[in-house]
Chain A
Amino acid sequence: MRMYLLGAIAAGALLAVPAQARENRPVKCDIGDAKRSLSAGGPALVANVPSAMTPIDLNAVQMTDKKLANRVVVEGMFARRTETNSVEVITRFVNCTKKTVELDARSSFMDENQVPTEDSTYWKKVILAPKATGVYRGLSIGRDEVKYYLVEVRTSQP
């Protein structure tokens, strides 16, 4: 997973003309790579007894079921401040399968002490066409106090 700073995009990443795009080829994923990658070691939610659970990385996407983890890859994760200084998180997913994947995502926002600033958002459905991308957006209610966020994803439920 790559993290982008919106500033970088504004600075010219968008303006750069790609030398050669890979056209006429559907996307291919190596889910194993994504699974094997190690945590960057940033802020994380850790159990009271640290060994009791794997840490949940903050400012990241947490998949809540294996079925989904075998189908979808997180391509990018963005966070920015809105005009009112609340936080908007945007996550782009890629469907690695040849079938439509429906997932639910929600975001939680925390202050610098990892205290939730508000209730988590409701689960929002994102429908990914085969081999295509899909975007989830979540907005916080809290403003300056929001320092961390977490996006949770699950297989869509009726």
Chain B
Amino acid sequence: MLKLRPVAKAAILGVGLAMVAGPAIAKKDRSHQAVDLDPDQRGVVSGVGIEGQDLGRMADQMVRDLMANPEISNRATPPRIILDSSDLRNQSSQRIDKDIITDELRGKLMGAARGKMRFVSREFIAAVEQERALKRDGVVDSGTTGLTRATAGADYKLVGKITSLDSRNNDTGMQERLTVISLEMLDLEYGTLVWNGTYKIRRAGADDVVYR
């Protein structure tokens, strides 16, 4: 599984970092204290797949791109968007928790949109339904924003795919993977795609000769 929690990463190779990080940690220190890493820099453990630093970079690029799209981010009435991983397909050869991609993107987009988009949650709709039922049964009062006839319908939904192409040179032990994360905004009424963002990662490396 993709390792993304920096603390976990740090714990694994706290020591490796001690050497990379330099004087911050005394050389004599043999402890295995966890170290905070910059989530946007390459970590100390690496392979050829999607890694922690790619997520922020990808989300940043896509958010900026989305914010420049007039159809989505410049409407008089802010559009309603479902942004979760339910229609994000992983066809790559990497095991990954897709939520980490959509969560990062949603977080950044919410910060950037500042009211220009509205996000509809379907993941936790059960909680909404429960509260609505309580309000309507009179068990609780109607809150401060009043009752609505129904929960919000959405205009757009984030859909997409993660695909990968693996190759290997058996003579040199070099492995290479091209990972393409392609996200699209689907118009839920009309069925058209109004935006596409593609992020490519092409990474190559070779394991130590004793493992080839």
Q: What is the interface of chain A, defined by CB distance below 8 A to chain B?
A: 82-86, 88, 118, 121-124, 138-141, 158
Q: Which of B40, B65, B112 contacts A122 (CB 8 A)?
A: B40
A84 touches B57 (CB 8 A): no
Q: Which residues of A contact B69 (CB under 8 A)?
A: 83-84
B residues near A123, Cβ cutoff 8 Å: 57
- B contact face: mostly helix, strand, loop, or mixed: helix
Interface code B37-80, partner A: CB below 8 Å = 1, 0 otherwise? 00010100000000000001100110111011110011000000
Residues of A within 8 A of B61 (CB): 121-122, 124
The tally of residues in B whose CB lies under 8 Å from a CB in A reads 16
Query: A84-B73, A118-B112, A122-B40 known; A139 and B57 CB under 8 Å?
Result: no
Q: Is the CB of B70 within 8 A of A122?
A: no
Q: Nearest residue in A to B46 (C-beta to C-beta)?
A: A158
Contact A139 B40 (CB under 8 A): no
Report whether B57 and A82 are in contact in the complex, using a CB–CB cutoff of 8 Å: no
Specify the main secondary structure of chain A where it touches its partner. loop
Q: Are A86 and B57 in contact (CB under 8 A)?
A: no
Give the residues from 136 to 161 in chain B that come closer than 8 angstroms, CB to CB, to chain A.
none
User: A residues within 8 A CB of B57?
Assistant: 122-124
Closest CB in chain A relative to B48 CB, distance in Å: 13
Residue numbers of B with Cβ under 8 A of A are 40, 42, 56-57, 60-61, 63-65, 67-70, 73-74, 112
The smallest C-beta distance from B61 to any residue of chain A, in angstroms, reads: 7
> Contacts A124-B57, A139-B68 given; 15 further ones with Cβ under 8 A?
A82-B68, A83-B74, A84-B67, A84-B68, A84-B70, A85-B74, A86-B68, A88-B68, A118-B112, A121-B61, A121-B64, A122-B56, A122-B61, A139-B67, A158-B42
* Minimum C-beta distance from B72 to chain A (A): 9
Q: Closest Cβ of chain B: how far from A147's Cβ, in Å?
A: 17
The complex places the Cα of A141 from the Cα of B60 at a distance, in Å, of: 10
Give Cα A86 to B116, complex, Å: 13
The distance in angstroms between the C-alpha atoms of A84 and B74, with both chains bound, is 6
- List, in ascending order, chain B residues with CB within 8 A of A88's CB: 68
CB of A27, distance to nearest CB on chain B (Å): 27
24 pairs, CB–CB < 8 Å, chain A vs chain B: A82-B70, A83-B69, A83-B70, A84-B67, A84-B68, A84-B70, A84-B74, A85-B74, A86-B67, A88-B68, A118-B112, A121-B60, A121-B64, A122-B40, A122-B57, A122-B61, A123-B57, A124-B57, A139-B64, A139-B65, A139-B67, A140-B64, A141-B67, A141-B112
